[in-house]
Structure formats: C-alpha cells, structure tokens
Amino acid sequence: MLSLPTVTVGLTEELTNLLLVGALVLLVSVAAVRLATRSGLPTLLLYLAIGMALGEAGFGISFENSALAHSIGLGALVLILSEGGLTTEWDDIKSAILPAALLSTIGVVVSVAVVAGAAYYLLDLPWSIALLLGAILASTDAAAVFSVLRRVPLPRRLSGVLEAESGFNDAPVVLLVVALASQATPGVEHQGWWVVGVEAALELAGGAIIGLVLGQVLGRLLRWVAPGSSGLFSLAVVAVTVLAYAVGDLLHSSGFLATYVCALVLGNLKLPHRQAFRGISQAFGWLAQIGLFVMLGLLASPGRLVDQIIPALVIGTVLLLVARPLSVLASLAGSDYTLREQAFLSWSGLRGAVPVVLATVPLTLDTPGTSWMFDLVFVLVIIFTLVQAPTLPWITRVLGLEQGTPTYDVDVESTALDDLDAHLLQASIGPASKLHGVEVFELRLPPGADVTLIVRDGDSFVPERRTVLRHGDQMLVVTTAQSRSAALKRIQAISRDGRLAGWHSSGEG
C-alpha cells in the first residue's frame, strides 16, 4: 500500500520530464520554420538535427528500437499523406493524375533498376540487397515536396505532378520494399515475382477503391450530421482519412493509397468548415513531421554515419543524375511535357522521411547484410536535400519555368466564408511579373471575384479601379467557389503575358 504513492510520484515526474522535453522540442521546431523558409531548405533537415542533438552524441538520449521507429514512422506518414490530400485542389492536379501515376509505377521500376545496377557494380553488393536499396530510395517524399514546392513559383502543371506523384508513389514502393526485404531474409516465406506483382496491383487497386468509397460515403454523411463546432467536425474529417488506412490495411490493400485518395476526395467535396479542417490537418501534419524527423535523428548514430558518406555520394549521384532523369523520360515519353519541364521534374524528385522510414524495414525483419543501410540512406537524404532544395528556385529561373505571380489559397478561420461558399486568394507580384503597371480594372476578373486589399511596403489599403499594381505588392482577392479557377487563371495569364493576355486569343475588347 505504501509503495503506490512512490510509483505514482515516479510516473508523474517521468511524465513531467517527457512533457517538458516535448514542449521544448515543439517550440524550437516551430521557430525553426522561419529559418527553413528563408534558406529554402525543407524543415526536415532542422528536425533531424534536433533529434541528433538530443541523441547519444548530444544530450545522451538513447533510442535504438528500429521496430518502434518503423511503426511510428508509418503512423506519421498516414497523417502527412492525409494533410497532403485534404489541402490539394482537384482542379490543380486532375491533369497530372496520369503522368503522376506513370512516375509512381514505370518511373519507380526504372529508378530501382538503375540504382540497383549501380549498387551491384560500384558498391559490390549482392543483387538482392542492391534491389532492396534501389526500392528504398525510389519514393519521393510528400513532406519534402509539400514544404518546398509550394513556396516555388511553379506552373500548376508541374507542381501538380510532383504533389500527386509524392502522394501516389509511397504505396507501390512500400509494397516493393517489404517484398524485397522478405525475399532477402531467411526463414520468411518467399513467393514468385509474378505472384508479388499481381498482389501488388490488386492491393493498389483495392486501396484506391477503398479511399474513393469511404471518402464519398463518409464525406456525405459528415455533411449531413455536421456539428456546429468546426473543431469537432475537423477531427471527424481527419479520423475518416486514418480510418481509410486502417480499413485498407485490414483488407490487405494499400492503406497509404486509401488514405491519400480518401483525403483528396474529402478535401474537394465542398464540406462545411473547410478552412478549419484543412487547418487542423496541417497541424497534425506538422506534428507528424516534427515527431517523425526528431525520432529518426535520435535513431541515427553520428559515429556510424561518417563511414557511409562516400557510398551515399556515389549512390545519390547516380539517383539524381541518372536514375531520376531516366525514370522521368520513360514515364513521360510521348507526352506534351517539354524537355525543360522534364529536366525540372528530374531535379525536383526530393527524398526525405519516406526512404529513411523504409530503411528500418530490413532492420525490423533482421535481413542479413543490411545493418548499414539505414545510415547510408540517412546520409544520402541529408546531403542531396542540401543540394536540391535550395537550388530549386534557381533551376526554375534557368529553365524559364518561373511563374511571375505565385497565387494560392489563404487559410482563414471564418464560418461566414463557408456559408457563402467563398474563397480568399493571395497573389504576390514578383520581380518578373507583368502585373506591374496594370490597373486593377484591367485584370478583368470574372464575375464573383474582386481585389479587396493590397499590401505595399508594409502598408495595406483598399484599391480603387484605377489603382496601379507594383512589383512586391500582395493582393487579396475574394472570389466565389465557382469563379476561383477562372480568377486564378486570369491573374496568372496577365502576370505571364501582360494586360492584353487573352484579347488576341479570345477576341476580347
């Protein structure tokens, strides 16, 4: 009886310490976002650094449970994919579905083959391990893509492909990694490759169907029973996307694909409290990213990482300069994507948490000869994120793909906007934009859309019809849901072609 208070006090102190460390990590991670935004780096690098600082080489926190890391990593990826789907506009990616699907299938196969060949011939690895390494590195990362590309002024045709690809390719790559790791592990049941291929195709199809059905059915049910509280409704929406993963996995289908498709459906169903559930999904997404990357940083051992620098440089260079370009060429052969666009898609195939999480699969299965693989993938992700991410804006300009005016939705907590079925858009007038010198009335926005506010040099004002737009201006546009796409296209067209955009082709004026 006397021992109970002692145990309770011990547990309370342990909980207090855990909450203290967790809160401090969250606050530092949130503050790090500003540094990441200014540098152009994905926040994942900063979070990995925080995890390593807390680990054995820093504050001495020991974490070596690869199985737990694998489970937590999968859960975090579910929330990241959920956020990606809920915040993606269907109009922005519908034309990118086919190329993204090809990159997620044909592109993955090509990338695995090229990287495996390099690992076999350059690193002298057996084919089974080389193929496993190629599969682990085949997936682009949703968290890295969403955090970096949405800040790069790209045409939606390109950013849509990259976002959709990062949402789609996790599912086939996870299946491939598990199959290859199982094949390379003694004592694990092996199946013929044609059986694995058929099962993978069925699981992907099943995941897509489950996500579509759950999104449509439960989305309409949520609309019917929607509570007045936007917070409760938002929790329900996120719960449906997590449910899609669980149902897909229980039915031996792709839970990741079910999650992304379900979230994409829900995000475009015109549900009430749209901005609220998008906001809470982003909060969950950030929390998942922070927890995931800090945990992976804890799992890494700086002493072991040094030995993998040279192999990581070798495989990473092949991945970036050979495997990714060939996968893009093979996937988009015969399409209307130009060589410049394909070059950009090749360079912007960012790797991040997904390969690092997948590198824990062979550790969990005790696959022989793979104890070094997590360290190599960890080092590769860090080095090539440092190379690719900061250079994306420069590559965009060099290839002539920069969109003068990045225009995007502004997340605003406002029930009135939901009731009015309205949207807020923010347009930033960049240094190359031909919106400079255009008067507001010359925008010729569609009915239902209007410029309501301009921020210039830190001051904000309500514009008049003859207000002249300038470089560096931030425009706030209020538009109905029906006019949103037309307003976006109109602003982007004038930014690209000037005030006469559309006159010659449409006969305006």
Side chain identity at residue 123, one-letter code: L
Length of the chain: 509
54-112 pLDDT, tens digit per residue, is 877 677 777 777 788 888 888 988 998 898 889 887 877 888 889 989 998 899 999 99
pTM, full prediction: 0.74
The helix/strand/coil state of 170 is helix
Q: H or E stretch including 377?
A: helix 373-388
Instruction: Give the residues of the chain that fall short of pLDDT 70.
Output: 1-11, 34-42, 57, 142-152, 187-196, 226-228, 403-421, 502-509
pLDDT recorded at residue 148:
63
Q: Hey, which CATH number is domain 40-57+68-397, 1.10.1740.10, 1.20.1530.20, 1.10.3470.10, 3.20.20.70?
A: 1.20.1530.20
Contact 466, 457 (CB under 8 A): no
Burial of 364 (0-12, 13-18, 19+ CB in 10 A): middle
Instruction: Name the residue ranges covered by the structural domains of the chain.
Output: 40-57+68-397, 407-506
CA distance 1 to 6: 10
Question: Could you tell me the end-to-end alpha-carbon distance of the chain, in angstroms, rounded to an integer?
Answer: 89
CA distance 228 to 483: 27
Are 40-57+68-397 and 407-506 the same fold in CATH? no
Q: Hey, which CATH number is domain 407-506, 3.30.390.50, 3.30.70.1710, 3.30.70.1450, 3.40.50.720?
A: 3.30.70.1450
User: What residues are paired with 477 via a beta bridge?
Assistant: 425, 451
Contact 478, 422 (CB under 8 A): yes
SS (H, E, C) 71-96: HHHHHHHHHHHHHHHHCCCHHHHHHH
User: What residues are paired with 407 via a beta bridge?
Assistant: 427
Contact 205, 49 (CB under 8 A): no
SS (H, E, C) 397-439: HHCCCCCCCCEEECCCCCHHHHHHCEEEEEEECCCCCCCCCCE
CA distance 273 to 234: 7
For 373, phi then psi, to 5°, come to: -65, -40
CA distance 261 to 354: 18
CA distance 265 to 448: 25
Residue 484 in tokens: 């949103």
